[in-house]
A and B are shown apart, each in its own frame.
Chain A
């Protein structure tokens, strides 16, 4: 067993894990963070994307042990705890722009969008498509996803300057 100390959605956990445990297994099976889903099992689809120190990573493609000492944000941590019902601008945009059909890819899409917008607050449609190349959607044809990310970017830009209300490691409003 290997000891890890990792902060997930604002809460610190100290745990012993088998070295071969994947981060996504740890999140879902140990911590109950089932908002992060496993799509493809081959690291292609991006459905399991979470933020590691603010950057998008595929949680099926790193060991839980590799997250030791780092900060993980899952889709469940996009809005700070205590704000039940509140939506992060990216979540709101996906809702308003109807950027999903079956919804399976949505958690990963939103986390990848957060990663992209942290690097590039004003992406073109082409930059959004390139930025999300690691995430597959088999329903929508991506049109509304691109619209949603663009809308979220605009909201995040206009909100900039207001007091940040997002947790550590997330593109703040």
Chain B
């Protein structure tokens, strides 16, 4: 299976990329590492007229410290995210979820920003971005704007990105002293998550002071587990209290039924995996 023909542009800067997107119109597509897009091109599920390849734009690669947040360049590969000291120290939840993305080969080429901009509800990183209140920095013809992760994902494979915009970098607030865990359930190696749950917990003595929960593949967009968070906050850090809070994990979800599981099964998994993820994040 060979992709349909397209024009191909290799800009050297974000400005050139935005200008190429503007010229190419709304059927253009940005390619990062291509680990989601190239298979879609091959199946002809995506038929862009122009591909704008960000591979040469060095300013989009790498992770930097920016005070109360770390900033991850959109073209940083999963491999490089995993090896980054700032990510390991301040965003270990990102590292844990990244480790489960695809397989080694996919992580060697696939990018952090690409996974987010692709907005596959079964992708692991969108739920993490939503749980951590990440800020998406978007570059376009009229300059840059920042979009909270909660507003970035609009629908299945759809984000707020306009045709002449690209995701440039992501600000991930530092979580110091939080416990984190990403719990992913899938049937085979390298498969998509049937359901995944990202959890971050700040403990204070014997209780849970604050918790963040994000769910993968339980709706057309990543879902923030607000009801679970509210049930956990201020409560005891015990197996019973966490199990009880995790019962709320189906709230706000609208899972689909497919070959890997029914909607009911996904809601069941939401509760079970939330209990496991929060328990692990709380050190239980």
Contacts and interface: CB of A to CB of B under 8 A. Distances in A.
Chains A and B come from one and the same complex? yes
Interface of A: 2, 18-20, 22, 25, 41-44, 46, 49, 52, 55-58, 60-63, 65-66, 68, 112, 115-116, 130-131, 133-135
B160 interface: no
A62 B114 CA distance: 14
Given A22-B2, A58-B105, 10 more contacts: A22-B42, A41-B1, A41-B42, A55-B108, A60-B42, A61-B39, A61-B109, A65-B53, A66-B55, A134-B105
Contacts of B35: 43, 61
Contact of A52 (B8, B51, B108): B108
Contact of B2 (A25, A43, A57, A130): A25
B212 to A, nearest CB: 27
Contacts of B6: 19-20
Nearest to A115: B104
Residue among B38, B41, B79, B104 having the largest count of chain A Cβ atoms under 10 Å = B104
Interface of B: 1-8, 10, 31, 33-35, 38-39, 41-42, 51, 53, 55, 79, 102-106, 108-109, 189-190
Contacts of B1: 41
A56 B104 CA distance: 7
B41 A20 contact: yes
Given A49-B105, A61-B34, A115-B108, A19 B39 contact: no
Given A57-B108, A66-B55, A18 B5 contact: yes
Nearest to A131: B104
